Structure 1
């Protein structure tokens, strides 16, 4: 059974969430503690369902609102039962299915002040613990995106189960070169950047006060974050393209997407102004009609508008409508587009045009 613990120093960043998920899967962790998440209780379920839904989750939000301890485990390999919890600890029992090994686990994340830890020590004294298995081993791994090393504890060996944009034609070779340099082979570039960062952090473990290595780690961490964010955006855009390609072919995916969208946009039940529940299409429709009729009032005769009102307003705008589109207007429109929008049929995203705008504008 493999147990891990990692102080991530905040997990609101999607990059760190992805790193934790990759860490759990890469090391085949059966039960992993994530401490100092900084995730508020109202966001916990959103992040859990989005990133960690394949794992089960236990937290200590009932003892502290800051989400100091998350415990994630693989329900296919272990059974976890929380026995006790506090603001500084989470105490539980673990049953490893394949080995039938049963252990007690206490995850501790103590407060900084000694006075605040008295409650923790008193709680730990009352908890029951057995001896550590003599075959257990522990490994301290590079810190990665955090500044704390992750810990892997092996308690018992686990068993493996077997053509638009024509005006850019003259720039196309240069654009392709820029795209090739900065936006291709992102997955391999992420792996290479992570390997360099880990190698530097391993050297830092031997020379923690080496100023050159500290600066190098900072630079490598920055580079890793950049390429990792690029990869995440690319995968997000690919997911959108995949949706578009499938939904344009009248496939089952297309009809399933329609059904999901229809369900989201359908109001099946509503409370009217009198507090009565209205169900079904006819009652819900009537409730909306009654509400807006009362809100807007009944029809009343309106005063006639001057016959030339709209003509005068349109004529005064004609000179502006005939003006040429300026470069600054194009730039304003371009930079108002979100960087993660899907690329067009030519494969170039809005982020690509933003990053190369200095060249394109010239």
Structure 2
């Protein structure tokens, strides 16, 4: 009755149900009673898996099925919307039968070009140990088999929110697991970056329904400028930097640095658009050029000119491939892989997964309801974090502890002029491709072109320590929300952090190192968490 009432209230174009326990001869009558205008597909006996869809919006073609899955092609009636493949899972309680299902999925993935593929349902298995709460720990070998299947099928978890556990035994000795999930392949992520699922409250069931939403591009503001390390591979790039940096400006050293960065930003935007080009178009053009040269060379294998043309075309294509890999590496933020590792597909997959997790698509409001309205989400975020900022502190501990005193020697060492070596060490200790501030230039730019920017960079920081004045533009920062939990769905579950400009980070790093070098009881005990555990880099965003 709970499922019936739920289905009558919704208007999803496609619905999958598992474990209906409806006899075959009653299936059509029951489905028409609940959703009279929907088509029904139930190839497995006793209603193990039902697929219902709005026939005016799509057609469903059954491709294969077993006792644990149905595999279909979904064909929208709107010809502008491409078709995709859907596999609905209701896995057996038997681990040996589930192993058979894993094998079937690998066959499905390898038997045809699945283009966009979604696999979802009740897998009756968890992926990770933390996917289960209570009871006996998950069997390691079974986890490994499931994850090996997901890897072999080139699938990944679709981003989701709501409950972390999709099943509960509803007993006093509580056991909760994430048995239900939605998996998609890379082609799906490329076309539907903003798609996600929401785990609904289970109601009278022991399983949560998973509501999948496929949004068009999520509305956002203008993209901020960001320095791309892949530009460095272009033969003309250094010349572009040097010419732009030679432009002179009048004002304080910090003002001059700000104006040079602003001017360089405008130059790089134009250069990227006019000279660097679209990387995908370049890859396609260079590959076609290489293939044409190879065909010509194979038709006349001893022709020295054709052999040289093939070699040059291949080198050009490899150069563009390396540029593409560098771009994907920076965007995906998978910095732990060595430079030179050829993992473009991995980087692309990581990039899309990261883009999906970086978007807040739905939040819980104060009344407990959920909203996916972008304007309402923005307004609610501003209201919530503004109230936190204006909230009076309840910490009774004084910010400054009167008992802490520095020696005269420590005071003198702290007041000594900042050296060029200190500035360079602070800059080069930062993550080269960490998140940049509003100016868009990460530490990588200043490190890579140190001989070009050295004079202006050192003078700007030296000016701050001499005058105590920090230009407003240098103090600007982005506020980024970091989820505290895996499925954060309300702003209480996000932690705001500031993404500062490289000059600001370098200044704070110098201050931290100076304080750390004092021999007395440094006042870092109450300078906040930023100074705690200075064993790791102080500024490493």
TM, length-normalised to structure 1? 0.36
The structure, 1 or 2, with the larger RCO (C-alpha pairs under 8 Å, 6+ apart) is 1
TM, length-normalised to structure 2? 0.25
